[in-house]
């Protein structure tokens, strides 16, 4: 074991390399990643019994509203949560911890349309995502599926 000083240590043994850094009550251990990351496509099912459609512009507006609330409250790394309701909406809201320890999730409702299966499986379901991840994913998908015709500038009529 090699000593890095009072703040941390480096360990090499049994083929495992790692470095540990302790500062106050926080301990951080790092190790190299062996192999490769999981294939993300294998993490999600290929088919689904239920599908829903959201309006892109309304969804982006709701996520940005959540980000504005987070910035106003000086919050970082707070997920955007959404819960499917029985009225066919998904309210997007920042998860804000209350004094009682509960998470408050009141936000902007985004209309949804169930396009496959029954919405009953979705009602009451909660999901929480990093708002930057949602907006980056939306931007990537929008750019990937929105290709102007060759030789045409986007938004201009042909001459």
Q: How far apart are CA 70 and CA 80, in angstroms?
A: 10
- Degrees, nearest 5: CA angle 24-30-34: 170
pTM: 0.57
Ordered domains of the chain (ranges, CATH): 2-31 (no CATH), 51-145 (3.10.150)
Q: How far apart are CA 91 and CA 27, in angstroms?
A: 37
Confidence band of 158 (pLDDT split at 50, 70, 90): very low
Q: What is the pLDDT of residues 92-113, one digit of tens each?
A: 777 665 555 455 556 778 888 8
Q: How far apart are CA 31 and CA 130, in angstroms?
A: 25
Q: What is the pLDDT of residues 61-95, one digit of tens each?
A: 988 988 888 888 887 778 888 777 777 777 777 76
Q: At 2, phi and psi to the nearest 5?
A: -95, 135
CA torsion, ordered 122, 124, 128, 131, to nearest 10 deg? 80
């Amino acid at each position: 074991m090699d000593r890095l000083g009072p703040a941390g240590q480096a360990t090499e043994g049994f083929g495992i390399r790692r470095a540990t850094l302790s500062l106050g009550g926080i301990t951080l251990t790092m190790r190299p990643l062996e192999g490769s990351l999981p294939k993300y496509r294998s993490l999600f099912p290929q088919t689904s019994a239920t599908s829903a459609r959201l309006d892109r512009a309304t969804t982006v507006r709701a996520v940005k509203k959540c980000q504005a609330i987070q910035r106003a409250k000086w919050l970082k790394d707070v997920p955007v949560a959404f819960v499917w309701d029985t009225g066919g909406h998904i309210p997007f809201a920042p998860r804000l911890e209350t004094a009682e320890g509960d998470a408050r999730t009141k936000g902007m409702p985004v209309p949804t349309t169930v396009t496959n299966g029954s919405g009953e499986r979705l009602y009451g379901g909660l999901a929480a995502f990093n708002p930057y991840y949602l907006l980056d994913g939306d931007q990537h998908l929008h750019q990937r599926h929105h290709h102007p015709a060759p030789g045409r500038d986007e938004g201009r009529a042909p001459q």
